[in-house]
Amino acid sequence: MTGLDILAQDEYYMDLALKLARNGYGRTSPNPMVGALVVRDGNIVGQGWHQKAGTAHAEIHAMRDAGALTAGATLYVTLEPCCHHGRTGPCTDAIIHSRIRRVVFAMTDPNPCVAGCGAGMLRQAGIEVTEGVLACEAAKLNEAFIKYIATGLPFTAIKMAMTLDGKTVTASGHSQWITGEASRHRVHKLRDQFDAVLVGVGTVLADNPQLTVRHIQGRNPVRVVVDSHARTPLDSLLITDKAAHTIIAVSQNAPSDRLKAYADADIEVVQLPTGPSGIDLRALFRYLAQKGLASVLVEGGATINASIIQENLVDSVFWFIAPKLVGGVRAPGPIGGTGVARLEDAAELEDIELELVGNDLLITGYLTTREGRNVYRDCGRIRDSQECDDQSAIS
């Protein structure tokens, strides 16, 4: 078999492993999504994927599925096998013990506890290792994990719905519903895939949102409210509905009686230093990451959108545009604040994708001004070196 034939074969099986990894969408955080296959004599004899943080990794599931057929086989896995003790044991030890002959993985683990170590241990044990097969595809799949590990901040996306003329609400304050039913279902799928959903207190006061996953089967994200002065009403759904955990981020000047009332209602409150947006948003996002929330979906209004963009905290957008014309000079748009003075200073999108969702247009893309830009463009290489600490050893 020629080198090109081997590469084509490796890419074929790695693509299948990536499809397996996607079964973990919204379920593995703060761990990455990983898929694995055991192939022997041209046949898939074992397969598996990582299902939840703290449980067996994809390699273990695949090798258990293969049983004694692992001897002399090739293991395909979408991420470099781990070599450290986290909540589970090192996958490298299990691979060596299984007598796997060859390991092919897609991307180097950005976790500084693992990067290069897993491959090195396998080679020292006499196992042939091939790395970098479909690395960009694997890194794109785990862009949230890479951002979280490399920067200590969650991967953050803005979800916005607006009319064709750029309005998010009418001049009279009516906003339900701008987009159609298909788009609303898509938003619930997004909530299922993100660890947290964040709004500003203005959205709470105007809409009294529930911010849970409905219309589809899924799990609820943690709900986060940016509320400097603790104005979230005690009878709001984010307080009274216990289907999901709620965090209210307040400033250090928030009234103590309100904070006690939130605590009495079993609501988590975090007091943060002040910043340009009332509270220090970067400190809030670091707090969320420290709690293991590796991805945040922002579903707020013009004020919070402007603030997180200004703070360089946004990675991507999901921008729904409905084929409706509302008009009205007093009808607000999706981004408030002072804006930019010159067009050359505007944030731009790259890697843009367009999709019709029902009758609405969905634009997705990545902000060019954000930290790190496209985290998956390095195809699995570590962006920023940092020492291995307890947060990194999360597997």
User: What are the structural domain ranges in the chain?
Assistant: 3-147, 154-370
Compute the distance between CA of residue 248 and CA of residue 231 in angstroms, rounded to an integer.
10
Counting DSSP H helices and E strands in the chain, the numbers are 12, 14
Q: Which two tokens stand for residue 155?
A: 């991967």
Task: Look at the domain 154-370 and name its fold.
Answer: Dihydrofolate Reductase, subunit A (3.40.430)
What was the pLDDT predicted at 344? 83
Compute the distance between CA of residue 130 and CA of residue 128 in angstroms, rounded to an integer.
7
Task: Look at the domain 3-147 and name its fold.
Answer: Cytidine Deaminase; domain 2 (3.40.140)
Q: What are phi and psi of 307, to 5 degrees?
A: -65, -45
Compute the distance between CA of residue 53 and CA of residue 112 in angstroms, rounded to an integer.
18
What was the pLDDT predicted at 383? 39
What was the pLDDT predicted at 368? 80
Residue 91, marked binder: yes
What was the pLDDT predicted at 7? 86
- Identical fold for domains 3-147 and 154-370, yes or no, is no
Catalytic positions are: 59
Residue 57, marked binder: yes
Q: Where are the extended beta strands (E) located within the chain?
A: 35-40, 43-49, 74-79, 102-107, 128-131, 155-163, 196-200, 222-226, 246-251, 268-272, 295-298, 316-322, 349-357, 360-367
What was the pLDDT predicted at 86? 66
In the numeric block, the tokens 């409706």 are attached to 324
pTM over 0.75: yes
Residue 316, marked binder: no
Residue 191, marked binder: yes
In tens digits, the chain (395 residues) has pLDDT values of 666 688 899 999 999 999 999 999 888 999 999 999 999 999 999 999 999 888 999 999 999 999 999 999 999 999 999 887 666 678 999 999 999 999 999 999 887 767 889 999 999 999 999 999 999 999 999 999 999 998 999 999 999 999 999 888 878 777 778 899 999 999 999 999 999 999 999 999 989 999 999 988 889 999 999 999 999 999 999 999 999 999 999 999 999 999 999 999 999 999 999 887 789 999 999 999 999 999 999 998 899 999 999 899 999 999 999 999 988 888 888 888 888 888 888 888 989 999 999 999 999 999 885 444 455 555 544 434 344 544 444 55
Residue 161, marked binder: yes
